[in-house]
Amino acid sequence: MLNINDPTLTFMTMQQEGFKNSNPDYVGRFAPSPTGPLHFGSLVSAVASYLDAKANKGKWLVRIEDIDPKREPAGSSDKILHQLEKHGLFSDEKIIYQSKRSEAYLSALEKLEQCGLLFFCHCSRKLLEANHGIHSYPCLPEISSMPASRRLLAEKNIVIEFRDIFQGQQKQSIKEEVGDMVLYRKDKLFAYQLAVVIDDNFQKITHVIRGCDLLKITPRQIYLQKLLTLKTPTYGHIPIAINQKREKLSKQNLAASLDSRPAPKNLVRAINWLGLSVPDELSKTNHCSDLLMWAAGHWDNNKVPRLKEKTAS
């Protein structure tokens, strides 16, 4: 536990009082898809979103994005929640599960339908390959009795621009660079793009801090927010953690499990990776809460590496 006579603690308390960006309306979140246990890369996203929220004196929420059952091994959600707790990361509100939110997604689809923005589509990925996977209405002439997806008609001349906290100004043309996106899949599942936008709004998320692998799809989320007249949060995309072979750490390349090291050690590594430098004394602590408190007090957006990817050595 914290030792009252510890000089680090005095420093920590002073830093806490001096939190630079107090913003009580701040609501951040970590929204894992339960496709397997957390690894270092996902821990870094969880920690970055947590620290940015706490440095602002805001709330931090956890949302389980379990909308694709075929990709979700049994028990993964519980495993992730257990791993978060072990690292001292607790949601400030009840955890929501996307698998329970179908009605909200359906009602958003109905709204878009009423505006005449949805259409049924049979085009296969293979068929769209020649156009880099981008669908441009009308559909390619392929007669199919296969189930259809529902796509959102990309309107012409829509350019989405936003300023990312870490990656700077971003710009994307919806028709040319995104095309008609799938909102309801052929396999009768809601698309991530739809669910994430509806739930960020439902949970009143003001700040989305996540990995750079999602930077390119942010404009389409903003586009959806605009069509559904929802507020757009502030976005910040941190570098993604890669291995020595320059592959994104993932369950597929068997990124070393977080469970092979004590949680405080994982946290020290994640906090340092994000640009802070945990003092030697503190890095020996067995208490995740000490580390998180120190890091929230020292969190500085300017120190987060301005990179799209960074090696996790």
8 Å CB contact between 169 and 237: no
What phi and psi, each to the nearest 5 degrees, are found at residue 155?
-80, 155
Q: Is 170 exposed, middle or buried (0-12, 13-18, 19+ CB in 10 A)?
A: middle
Asked if residue 33 binds ligand GLU (CB under 6 A), the reply is yes
CB of 192 to ligand GLU, least distance (A): 7
**Stretches 31-39, 86-94, 121-129, 286-294: which one binds ligand GLU (CB under 6 A)?**
31-39
Tell me, residue by residue from 150 to 189, as one string, x for binding to ligand GLU by CB under 6 A and - for no binding: ----------------------------------------
Structure tokens at 16: 């806490």
8 Å CB contact between 178 and 155: no
CB of 110 to ligand GLU, least distance (A): 23
CB of 211 to ligand GLU, least distance (A): 7
In sequence order, what are the beta bridge partners of 238?
A: 211
| SS percent in the chain: helix, strand, coil, step 5 | 40, 20, 40
Asked if residue 196 binds ligand GLU (CB under 6 A), the reply is yes
Among 28, 61, 65, 101, binds ligand GLU (CB under 6 A): 65
CA distance 31 to 211: 11
CA distance 149 to 54: 40
Among 12, 27, 31, 181, binds ligand GLU (CB under 6 A): 31
Asked if residue 43 binds ligand GLU (CB under 6 A), the reply is no
What phi and psi, each to the nearest 5 degrees, are found at residue 29?
-160, 160
Tokens 């994430």 map to which residue?
A: 196
Closest CB to ligand GLU among 32 and 179?
32
CB of 214 to ligand GLU, least distance (A): 6
CB of 205 to ligand GLU, least distance (A): 10
CA distance 47 to 198: 23
Asked if residue 72 binds ligand GLU (CB under 6 A), the reply is no
In the complex, which residues of this chain contact ligand GLU (CB under 6 A)? 31-33, 65, 196, 210, 214
